């Protein structure tokens, strides 16, 4: 069965070929089916669910093609979520309850700039771990948290660790976090601070399920001595922090089009921009500007087959989808 991933990889490379010729159409059908089978590789559907999945997949594919034929700053593509409706996706991957995330007055102290035109912590040094995959568990907040703590610790010590999301899923409940049902990076940083440490991924592997807390104090590998909130809706405060200090955790609202994001600068007129509507947490690792549109470079936790090898760009400077509603970062204890 190894040939399937290989076939997929080859087809993926040539996915952008023109599709108006007869060969192109045939190729398009072949590609569609290959994608479908590839993404079903480790999903075990019953035969009748299988046809329902194929129908959802084809509907999504139509949506994607319609979007890509229009004039947009970002494009959509098939990905491992293409056989799901947004309602299903939301239930498995997003925060379903409103989060208490507003920092009416944050404790981040901004400088007066000036700021560089672009910054990317992935290329400044060995500061950002590989994109991870949260699986079907609303644990995005744990990946945003580990991603940020991994980076601030690496910037302070020169050592890039892989930290344990599962410890946060299992153990951080006393700080208004809810395992696979959601939570917030700022509350997770507080948990790590009061708990006195977070273990490594290796010592506390990720399972995408809630379980008993198995924290072992002697295996704690990363520590937090303070939590910094950026005042809500202060997007320049986020720019200041990312430009001068480190990547920053933030939350925003994911709407149905975002599930199909492939590349380009995501913008939306349907998402909300207030603290009570955020439903996903991620990590800003940099920012830049393209053709006059400023954007954030963001690390997601949906694996590397989604977006730009697991990353996405989102418009900067407009509190797009509430991305400036609740952002924070930890002060590492080293």
State the binding string over 208-227 for ligand NAG (x if CB under 6 A, else -). Answer: -------------------x
User: Which of 140, 180, 271, 321 is flagged as catalytic?
Assistant: 140
The token duo for 57 is 């997949």
- Distance from C-alpha of 106 to C-alpha of 234, rounded to nearest angstrom: 9
Q: 3-class DSSP state for residue 153?
A: helix
| Span of 25-33, 97-105, 200-208, 288-296 interacting with ligand NAG by CB under 6 A | 97-105
88-116 core/surface letters (b: 16 or more CB in 10 A; e: else): ebbebbbbeeebebbbeebebebeeeeee
State the binding string over 250-289 for ligand NAG (x if CB under 6 A, else -). Answer: -----------------------xx---------------
- Distance from C-alpha of 210 to C-alpha of 196, rounded to nearest angstrom: 21
Q: Is 128 in the site for ligand NAG (CB under 6 A)?
A: no
Q: Is 186 in the site for ligand NAG (CB under 6 A)?
A: yes
Maximum Cα interatomic distance, the chain, rounded to a whole number of Å? 64
- Distance from C-alpha of 259 to C-alpha of 83, rounded to nearest angstrom: 11
Helices (H), 44-132: 47-69, 86-93, 121-124
| Span of 99-107, 144-152, 209-217, 285-293 interacting with ligand NAG by CB under 6 A | 99-107
Q: Is 166 in the site for ligand NAG (CB under 6 A)?
A: no
- Distance from C-alpha of 10 to C-alpha of 312, rounded to nearest angstrom: 23
- Within 107-126, the residues that bind ligand NAG by CB under 6 A are 107
Annotated catalytic residue 100: no
Annotated catalytic residue 107: no
Annotated catalytic residue 20: no
Q: Is 184 in the site for ligand NAG (CB under 6 A)?
A: yes
DSSP 82: T
Please report how close the Cβ of residue 285 comes to ligand NAG at its closest, in angstroms.
Answer: 21
Compute how many residues bind ligand NAG; rule: CB under 6 A. 16
Residues that bind ligand NAG (CB under 6 A): 97, 99-101, 103, 107, 176, 184, 186, 227, 229, 233, 273-274, 319, 326
């Amino acid at each position: 069965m190894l040939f399937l991933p290989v076939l997929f990889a080859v087809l993926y490379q040539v996915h952008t070929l023109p599709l108006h010729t007869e060969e192109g159409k045939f190729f398009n059908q072949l590609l569609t089916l290959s994608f479908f089978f590839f993404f079903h590789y480790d999903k075990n559907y019953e035969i009748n669910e299988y046809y329902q999945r194929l129908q959802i997949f084809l509907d999504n594919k139509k949506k994607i093609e319609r979007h890509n034929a229009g004039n947009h700053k970002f494009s959509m593509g098939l990905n491992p979520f293409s056989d799901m409706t947004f309602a299903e996706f939301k239930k498995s991957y997003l925060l379903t309850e409103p989060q208490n995330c507003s920092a009416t007055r944050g404790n981040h102290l901004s400088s007066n700039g000036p700021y560089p035109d672009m910054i990317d912590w992935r290329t400044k040094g060995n500061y950002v771990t590989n994109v991870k995959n949260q699986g079907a568990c609303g644990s995005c907040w744990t990946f945003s948290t580990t991603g940020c703590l991994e980076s601030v610790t690496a910037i302070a010590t020169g050592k890039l660790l892989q930290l344990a999301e599962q410890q946060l899923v299992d153990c951080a409940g006393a700080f208004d976090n809810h395992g696979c049902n959601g939570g917030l990076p700022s509350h997770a940083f507080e948990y790590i601070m009061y708990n006195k440490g977070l273990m490594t991924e290796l010592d506390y592997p990720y399972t995408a399920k809630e379980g008993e807390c198995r924290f072992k104090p002697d295996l704690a590998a990363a520590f937090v001595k303070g939590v910094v909130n950026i005042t809500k809706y202060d997007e320049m405060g986020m720019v200041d922090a990312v430009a001068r200090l480190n990547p920053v955790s933030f939350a925003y609202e994911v709407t149905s089009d975002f599930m199909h994001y492939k590349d380009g600068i995501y913008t939306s007129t349907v998402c909300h921009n207030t603290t009570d509507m955020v439903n996903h947490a991620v990590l800003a690792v940099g920012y830049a500007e393209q053709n006059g549109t400023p954007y954030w470079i963001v690390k997601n936790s949906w694996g590397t087959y989604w977006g730009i090898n697991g990353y996405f760009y989102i418009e900067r400077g407009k509190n797009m989808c509430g991305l400036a509603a609740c952002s924070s970062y930890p002060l590492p204890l080293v």
